[in-house]
């Protein structure tokens, strides 16, 4: 077997072509890893919003809370269903109203949809993971609202002590900013439920009802109780399953687009690797002939050049993977296809994604170096020595 240091020396001698090819592969890996990280970040943000011991009830056939309506008298029926946790003696659940409002963005022209959630005064008790990080809690029944930390300063009026209209000529004031462990709630505005219903003419209805279950295993009994009365037409889902479905379309779209772009870029990178290795073979015919004369087999020559191509690709891939880790500090907002509202996501650099990106880089090196390696292995030692 030809020593690895031979390949390392060859790459070091051809600094310019090695750098150019490695840079191209690094770019491909960076794009691929970033797309996969964003897709994973979307799923993580939505998954953080849901709990396995919480159920969400909506109108039968509704894909999201925005398109669901439940008459208020049915809320008590839902809360009385078996399996609902009592704290203490009172069913743990909330009925909320969801609407979408168009708001002007800061720093860019145009408007974007922001999700407004009509909440009750016990919302913090039901969601203990929510913490006020600036300002204070809103007073029940008032025109005071809370905003998620990822909305702060991105839209006109969405900052502490500022005001905006939840509907035309219906102003409210931001009195607090909250965090929620990175969940999608951080991209929402929380308004008093009655205030929001009055502004949008939704009196007597809610969009959804959430209940805390006695245990995750209590869901099946709760679901059967809620869905058995076909007259009211309700359906129950685990909250974790609901948010997983909400993120499915967007995460798949981002992942597919990123992978498609990376594949197109990889074609260029593989062509570059192939050209580089062909040039190496042409410039090293005497070396190859000498190696063959020393007794190295064609298989050894083939393996050596394939190894060199993969070393080049993995080196560039490692650079691209390391660079992509920095995307973990970037937040990106986009329209969630399920709720038609803008949600802020972050890139999620996981070891699995980085490993996939490096494997893809190695695959590019293998394909790009295969034909040049075959050519090198077929060089006749006699013809190579004659050319000396």
CB 187 within 8 A of CB 151: yes
Two tokens at 300? Answer: 């050894």
Nearest of 286, 258, 307 to residue 30 by alpha carbon: 258
Nearest of 239, 231, 224, 246 to residue 67 by alpha carbon: 246
Helices and strands in the chain: count of H runs, count of E runs: 11, 14
Can you tell me the distance from the alpha carbon of 215 to that of 225, in angstroms, rounded to the nearest whole number? 16
Can you tell me the distance from the alpha carbon of 33 to that of 265, in angstroms, rounded to the nearest whole number? 13
Rg (CA), the chain: 30
CB 224 within 8 A of CB 57: no
| DSSP H helical ranges for the chain | 4-13, 15-49, 73-79, 123-126, 193-200, 219-227, 239-283, 285-293, 298-325, 351-377, 381-386
SS3 for 113?
A: strand
Can you tell me the distance from the alpha carbon of 15 to that of 46, in angstroms, rounded to the nearest whole number? 46
pLDDT (0 to 100) of residue 384: 58
Can you tell me the distance from the alpha carbon of 98 to that of 209, in angstroms, rounded to the nearest whole number? 11
Q: How far apart are the first and last CA of the chain?
A: 24
Can you tell me the distance from the alpha carbon of 101 to that of 166, in angstroms, rounded to the nearest whole number? 7
pLDDT (0 to 100) of residue 71: 93
Across the chain, which has 388 residues, the per-10-residue mean pLDDT values are 76 79 86 85 76 93 90 92 88 94 83 91 91 94 93 90 89 94 90 94 93 94 90 90 78 74 77 77 75 80 86 90 89 67 79 90 86 81 59
CB 206 within 8 A of CB 97: yes
236: phi then psi, degrees, rounded to nearest 5: -120, 140
Nearest of 75, 92, 86, 88 to residue 128 by alpha carbon: 92
Domain borders along the chain are 4-47+246-386, 61-232
Strand partners, 95: 209
Residue 367: exposure state from Cβ atoms within 10 A (0-12, 13-18, ≥19): middle
**Taking the CB of residue 221, how many other CB atoms lie within 10 A of it?**
14
Two tokens at 215? Answer: 């245990």
Strand partners, 334: 343
pLDDT (0 to 100) of residue 339: 64
SS3 for 50?
A: coil
pTM for the model stands at: 0.74
Can you tell me the distance from the alpha carbon of 17 to that of 4, in angstroms, rounded to the nearest whole number? 19
Cβ neighbours of residue 143 under 8 Å, at least 6 residues apart?
A: 171, 172, 173, 192, 195
């Amino acid at each position: 077997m030809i020593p690895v240091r031979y390949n390392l020396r060859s790459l070091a001698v051809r600094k310019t072509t090695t750098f150019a090819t490695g840079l191209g592969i690094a770019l491909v890996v960076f794009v691929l890893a970033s797309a996969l990280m964003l897709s994973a970040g979307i799923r993580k943000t939505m998954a953080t919003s849901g709990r396995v011991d919480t159920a969400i009830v909506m109108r039968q056939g509704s894909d999201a809370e925005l398109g669901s309506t439940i008459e208020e008298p049915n809320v008590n029926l839902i809360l009385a269903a078996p399996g609902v946790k009592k704290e203490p003696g009172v069913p743990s659940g909330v009925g909320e109203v969801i609407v979408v409002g168009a708001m002007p963005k800061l720093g860019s022209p145009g408007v974007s949809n922001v999700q407004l959630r009509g909440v009750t005064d016990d919302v913090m008790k039901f969601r203990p993971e929510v913490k006020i990080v600036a300002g204070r809690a809103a007073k029940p029944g008032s025109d005071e609202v809370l905003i998620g930390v990822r909305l702060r300063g991105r839209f006109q009026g969405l900052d502490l002590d500022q005001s905006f209209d939840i509907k035309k000529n219906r102003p409210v004031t931001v009195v607090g900013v909250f965090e929620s462990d990175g969940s999608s709630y951080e991209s929402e505005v929380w308004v008093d439920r009655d205030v929001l219903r009055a502004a949008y003419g939704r009196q007597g209805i809610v969009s959804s009802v959430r209940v805390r279950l006695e245990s995750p295993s209590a869901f099946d009994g709760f679901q059967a109780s809620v869905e058995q009365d076909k007259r009211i037409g309700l359906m129950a889902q685990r909250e974790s399953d609901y948010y997983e479905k909400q993120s499915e379309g967007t995460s798949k779209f981002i992942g597919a687009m990123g992978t498609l772009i990376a594949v197109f870029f990889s074609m260029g990178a593989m062509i570059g690797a192939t050209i580089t290795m062909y040039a190496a073979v042409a410039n090293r015919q005497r070396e190859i002939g000498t190696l063959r004369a020393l007794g190295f087999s064609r298989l050894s020559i083939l393996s050596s050049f394939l190894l060199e191509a993969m070393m080049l690709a993995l080196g560039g891939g490692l650079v691209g993977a390391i660079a992509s880790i920095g995307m973990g500090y970037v937040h990106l907002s986009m329209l969630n296809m399920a709720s038609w509202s803008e949600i802020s996501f972050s890139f999620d650099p996981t070891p699995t994604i980085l490993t996939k990106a490096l494997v893809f880089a190695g695959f590019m090196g293998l394909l790009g170096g295969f034909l040049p390696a075959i050519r090198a292995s077929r060089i006749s030692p006699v013809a190579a020595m004659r050319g000396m």
